[in-house]
Amino acid sequence: NPPSLLIAGGGDGTITGLLNELRTAGVALPAIGVLPLGTGNAWARVTGAPRPAVALKQLAAYGERLPPLRPFALVRVEGKVAPFAGTGWDAEMIQDFKNQLAIAGPLRGTQAGLRGYLGAMFTRTVPRHVFGEGNPQVSVYNLGDTALTVDSRGAVQPVAHGEKGALLYRGPAGVAGAATTPEWGFGFKAFPFAQAVPHRLSVRVYGASVLEATRNMFRLWRGEHPIPHMHDWFVQRLRMDFDREVPFQMGGDVIGMRKSLEFDLAEESVNLVDWRRLSRMVSV
């Protein structure tokens, strides 16, 4: 007797874990109200979640009916689902952030949140790339129907010679991933076109150096388009092959090192409470 609505407090990793536990148990995914009780809170931000106390008051004021919902497709990797997954500086920064917290001791509180992420990026992730071996090389193959892309004005169009099996890109990858939601947390619009094409994953590869990325940080954060060395596709399924093992993350949690990984669109989707619409319908 699964619930019709499940309220979930935590970050994107928590919600991703919840979805996968429900799938493993064979439970149909209920509607989920995401409360912003994590670090990045990408899904909570995208759906306009208020503070938890306010969110619960809004639900109570709405009554026993299901609140307004917003559907989200899911990225599937190695049999698990998430709102986003990928590799690059983001995955490294997550691990650097966690390593930084682990040794912070009494100063742990000052290293949390956005300040901690930026600190990990500038003191650990960026220097490692500047003085290390640089970006890995990636080959991106389309494994589904003809791939689509966006032109300089943001209009969707087919990729020339982008049929099934086609090599879409070969070159450096500072960040490479797939998503069905625009944000990666903290308001960072890493996938601004994520819901532009229904029933497709939004895939991006950013091939610039870490120094160029740092110079363009605010443009990247806002999801501006076009940006040099940024490559966009909309696909059903694809594979990324790297020239060395790289760290991968799903929903903000690092899953380990991989040299090759396939992404596809999961059959199921999830309905999340649309807190913005709900806030316009009730008064608390």
Beta bridge partners of 8: 34
pLDDT of residue 131: 57
Packing angle of the helix pair 113-120, 89-102 (nearest 10 deg): 110
pLDDT of residue 83: 96
pLDDT of residue 101: 66
Confidence of residue 148 (pLDDT cuts 50, 70, 90): very high
pLDDT of residue 247: 86
pLDDT of residue 120: 66
Of residues 152 and 3, which shows the higher confidence score? 152
CA 33, chain centre distance (Å) = 18
Question: Where do the structural domains in the chain lie, given as residue ranges?
Answer: 5-74+270-282, 84-267
Q: CATH assignment of 84-267?
A: 2.60.200.40
Say if residue 235's pLDDT is above 70. yes
Highest mean pLDDT, choosing among 85-89, 105-109, 194-198? 194-198
pLDDT of residue 94: 65
pLDDT of residue 112: 60
- What is the rounded average pLDDT of the residues 103-112? 61
- What is the rounded average pLDDT of the residues 114-126? 65
Strand-strand pairing, 167-172 and 137-142:
antiparallel
User: Of 10, 22, 75, which is closest to residue 261 (Cα–Cα)?
Assistant: 75
